[in-house]
Structure 1
Amino acid sequence: MTRRYDAVVVGAGFGGMGAAIELKRLGLHDLLILEREDDLGGTWHVNRYPGLAVDIPSSTYSYSFEPNPHWSRLFAPGEELKRYAEHVAVKYGLKPLMRFGVTVTGARWQGEHWEVSAGGEIVTARYLVTATGFLSMPRKPDIAGIDSFRGEVVHTAAWEPCDLTGKRIAVIGTGATAVQLIPELAREASALTVFQRTPIWVSPKPDLPIPPAVRKVFARLPLVQRAVRWLGSSVLELMMISGVVRYKQLRVANRLAELWCRAHLRRQVRDPALRDKLTPDYSFGCRRPTFSNDYFRTFTRPHVHLETSTIDRVDETGIVTADGRTEVDVLVLATGFDLWDTNFPAFEVIGRDGEDLGAWWRQNRFQAYEGVTVPGFPNYLSLNSPYSYSGLSYFTTIECQMTHMRRLFTAMRSRGASTFEITRRANDEFLDRMRTKVKQNTVFSLGQCATARSYYFNQHGEATLLRPTSTASAHRAAASFPVSHYDFSPSPSLCISTTRGAP
């Protein structure tokens, strides 16, 4: 007989690990965590490009229940996030539950359990959790001739160590990843050309090393680090609320953020023509802003060129624009990820009555109740869902969803049930409430976002990624949503295992 798990979690990044930790706390120990990569960590395993670092203070980018006193800097480098992920997996007993190098291609609800197609086999589970991440499908630009280029082509999400000294490098893209990468490439390249379609809002980065003495205090007095975390989270929340969520009421704060970024650019770039090219023409917050102390300054170096002409094509040895041609040895694609076409969901999910989740989302708007559950898909938790991302730290979102899971499973068990499904009425009311808030208050509807080309917007032009409320509101909702919004039912033929298992 096919083994049945309590739950299958797809994704071994911080989202999937957080879900698994919560499921174990709830008494579900027979778990299987499937990961397509060869190790855990999600984006912090896949991304290895030079300059990789967290772009918000490290103290806020971690589980609140598992603080890390050992960050070396205020904005920790990527390898430290990877080590932190390893630490969490070991401490909470998650590694024995993980299978690596397994690609999930589909999942189907079979009346009382999920059948998951993974790595050429079928695994079954009472519950299915998808934690495949928002930024997990690298996007290759649709540029004529790009496959004919005879030099080296590398996407930032598939970076391999290589010697770039003296090379002529071209970078396509100027998002948050490129902001970290470009200054590093400029130190090695003989010539660096950056092809920019959309400039980005960049503010100074208050990045400082954390002295060993301070780290010792954090380790011995966790309350001190919690206070630092609270302070950092409060600053990020203020930025999010004033810049994005409450744009209607706090336009002046949004304008001050723009002026702060413009002043930073003016200090680092004296050439008005170059400065004009690097200045966004969309409102602050329409696209994810970032921090850097050396991004703007890099463009003032003699061997670095900013190209804003549209790319016409790529040929065997270079890039052709309307203004000329650039010879290139290495082509770096900092073109981000495909959220809305190949993600949401990342693989086929078939629910009750043969409903296809991807098709349903595209036909009926992208939606999920409290960013977690979807009507017609019983016992399914979609962590990276529309309206789920709350605040500027991904861990805010993760812990809100963990809280939602705790309340949901506790209510289900108190009723002697083992199957849950959000009602369509509750889901529709939540969707209407979120859409109204986006339309009436946020920068996405009231600001100038037409030229931002932001991944916050789906292919229908709707900003359905971020939850348009404060973090405090999101936490309250996760802890107190009406359990009557769910339908619960027993499934006596398949009881939840209470024994610990391993894949």
Structure 2
Amino acid sequence: MTPEFDAVIVGAGFGGMGAAIALQEMGYSRLSILDREDDLGGTWHVNHYPGLAVDIASVTYSYSFAPNPNWTRLFAPGAELKRYAEHIADTYDLRHAMRFGVLVERAEWDDDAQFWRVTTADGEEITGRFLVTATGFLSQPHTPDFPGIDSFTGAVLHTTRWDDAHDVSGERVAVIGTGATAVQLIPEIAERAEALTVFQRTPIWVVPKIDFPIPPVVRRLFARVPATQKAARKVNDALLEALMIVGVLHFRQAKPMNKAAALLAKAHLRLSVRDRATRRALTPDYDFGCKRPTFSNKYFRAFNRRNTRLETSPIERFDADGIVTVDGRHTPIDTLVLATGFNLWDVNFPALQIIGREGRDLGAFWRDNRFQAYEGITVPRFPNLLSLNSPYSYSGLSYFTTIESQMGHMRRLLGELQRRDAVSFEVTEEANDAFLTEVTERLGDSVFYRGQCSTARSYYFNQHGEAALLRPTSTTASFRAASTFPLSDYEFRTPATV
């Protein structure tokens, strides 16, 4: 029995495209890239709210093998990331393999046929030798079920479903959430709205954003002499490595660096916000790094505006024209903006039902046991599954570091599959257990376990209380592991053994 495709890839963002590029390099040309949205780009297609920009310097936030010399700012606006995604799809001839508006609901391994059967919401079945899940970390929006929200008669906007035609000028607006998305959005709304109330549950660490336009002469230099952009990338990588890897993952050994980052953020807050009570409310009571910090020069200053108010009293309920907090205060609003983040651990890992060998349900296995994936990409009893953006996969530098590390793992693994003329691969239980033990021990030195994170309400922590998202190694180490992991950690089935 021959499957329809070499691989079915779920997700047409940068992760899915990276996987497709790696598969093409290995000679797999029959690809099907499925996405529930109406175009490619993943989060950079879905998100287009005012103020959207990358929160990692542009010289780092791209594939290292496909640098973009045309970023207009050090922190590129979201529209440029969308254009970069389109450029990648065209450069590597991926569009012909893409189908949009396709919601994948289920995938099941057929052990007799040795391929995956993928089922869409409309009942279509697609078969592929390999299954690649590339749905990203932040793909399942979280919308709290506030009492009475259905009775609210005003407009409701979620940051992942922004209505570009909606003008908040002259309106009374409420923003719920103060995460990285809200930090970008709130200053934009504050400039237009008649009144803005920001409902905060947990404050966020914010440090100054050193952002500026990249002069045309520099962009031309990057295009003509790529080594110059590569050098700029290395400098930025080193700074991020120090911040994330040392200050967060090696908190026990480098606690002073972590404290210095917190002091920088507090100084930024003090210099930006005039009102003392507002400053206190905006100051986190958890250690720097427990929750993803962000960069902004405008967020704190928005609270100096007469039309902007910070509300920290919990929401009790909605009524037809506003929000009532537990202290009895009623805030009338015309438009509600939900910047309430994403649901990683309940519905995102994985974002579809995946049934492996012997009927094992991946989502149920993770939730009933521990979230785990060997080298952040494969799981025992799930042959020929490449689960990108899985537990313990995210590298501290950027999403692209994670993608490229996993692309390297794919090349090594599939190269061995081809050398053996095998039909399937599966990581062993022993290798998976050893990797889980190793990353668990390494995380023991991180801010997540050595710091004070109990009040952070961070998406880094799953329902088991484990910080099972970040890979606790340096970026160099993650790339080295992707190209040197023991091939004996996998079992390969040949046609003779099927």
After TM superposition, the score normalised by the length of structure 2 is 0.98
Task: Show the 5 A alignment for 1:261-410.
Answer: 261-323=265-327, 324-410=329-415
Q: Which residue identity lines up with residue 188 of structure 1 in the other structure?
A: R
* Secondary structure, counterpart of 1:60 in structure 2: coil
Q: Which residue identity lines up with residue 43 of structure 1 in the other structure?
A: T
Using the TM superposition, give the Cα deviation of residue 392 of structure 1 relative to its aligned residue in structure 2, in angstroms: 3.1
Residues 357-386 of structure 1 show CA distances to partners (whole Å, capped at 9, x for unaligned) of 011111220000000000000000000200
CA distance, structure 1, for counterparts of residue 283 and residue 351 of structure 2: 34
Deviates more, 1:1-10 or 1:359-368: 1-10
Q: Which residue identity lines up with residue 151 of structure 1 in the other structure?
A: G
Using the TM superposition, give the Cα deviation of residue 399 of structure 1 relative to its aligned residue in structure 2, in angstroms: 0.4
CA distance, structure 1, for counterparts of residue 473 and residue 276 of structure 2: 38
Is 1:451 aligned to 2:455, yes or no?
yes
**Cα distance change, pair 27–307 in 1 and its aligned pair in 2 (3 A):** same
Using the TM superposition, give the Cα deviation of residue 414 of structure 1 relative to its aligned residue in structure 2, in angstroms: 1.5
Aligned to 2:92: 92
CA distance, structure 2, for counterparts of residue 7 and residue 266 of structure 1: 53
Question: Do 2:3 and 2:129's aligned partners in 1 also have CA atoms closer than 8 Å?
Answer: no
* Secondary structure, counterpart of 2:495 in structure 1: coil
Q: Which residue identity lines up with residue 273 of structure 1 in the other structure?
A: A
Using the TM superposition, give the Cα deviation of residue 120 of structure 1 relative to its aligned residue in structure 2, in angstroms: 2.1
Using the TM superposition, give the Cα deviation of residue 152 of structure 1 relative to its aligned residue in structure 2, in angstroms: 0.4
CA distance, structure 2, for counterparts of residue 383 and residue 127 of structure 1: 13
Question: Do 1:245 and 1:470's aligned partners in 2 also have CA atoms closer than 8 Å?
Answer: no
Question: Do 1:34 and 1:98's aligned partners in 2 also have CA atoms closer than 8 Å?
Answer: yes
Task: Show the 5 A alignment for 1:115-194.
Answer: 115-118=117-120, 119-161=122-164, 162-194=166-198
Q: Where in structure 1 are there 5+ consecutive unaligned residues?
A: 495-503
CA distance, structure 2, for counterparts of residue 126 and residue 92 of structure 1: 21
* Runs of 4+ deviating beyond 4 Å: none
Deviates more, 1:36-45 or 1:472-481: 472-481
Aligned residues: 493
CA distance, structure 2, for counterparts of residue 493 and residue 449 of structure 1: 50
CA distance, structure 1, for counterparts of residue 474 and residue 252 of structure 2: 14
Question: Do 2:177 and 2:200's aligned partners in 1 also have CA atoms closer than 8 Å?
Answer: yes
CA distance, structure 2, for counterparts of residue 20 and residue 472 of structure 1: 23
CA distance, structure 1, for counterparts of residue 69 and residue 148 of structure 2: 49
Q: Which residue identity lines up with residue 87 of structure 1 in the other structure?
A: H
CA distance, structure 1, for counterparts of residue 482 and residue 167 of structure 2: 48
CA distance, structure 2, for counterparts of residue 2 and residue 95 of structure 1: 24
Q: Which residue identity lines up with residue 139 of structure 1 in the other structure?
A: H
CA distance, structure 2, for counterparts of residue 3 and residue 159 of structure 1: 39
Question: Do 1:419 and 1:491's aligned partners in 2 also have CA atoms closer than 8 Å?
Answer: no
Residues 318-362 of structure 1 show CA distances to partners (whole Å, capped at 9, x for unaligned) of 000123110000000000011111111101000001110011111
CA distance, structure 2, for counterparts of residue 449 and residue 295 of structure 1: 23
Q: Which residue identity lines up with residue 158 of structure 1 in the other structure?
A: R
Using the TM superposition, give the Cα deviation of residue 142 of structure 1 relative to its aligned residue in structure 2, in angstroms: 2.3
Aligned to 1:110: 110
Question: Do 1:2 and 1:123's aligned partners in 2 also have CA atoms closer than 8 Å?
Answer: no
CA distance, structure 1, for counterparts of residue 203 and residue 465 of structure 2: 20
Question: Do 2:3 and 2:115's aligned partners in 1 also have CA atoms closer than 8 Å?
Answer: no
* Secondary structure, counterpart of 2:59 in structure 1: helix
Using the TM superposition, give the Cα deviation of residue 4 of structure 1 relative to its aligned residue in structure 2, in angstroms: 1.3
Q: Which residue identity lines up with residue 340 of structure 1 in the other structure?
A: W
CA distance, structure 1, for counterparts of residue 430 and residue 464 of structure 2: 23
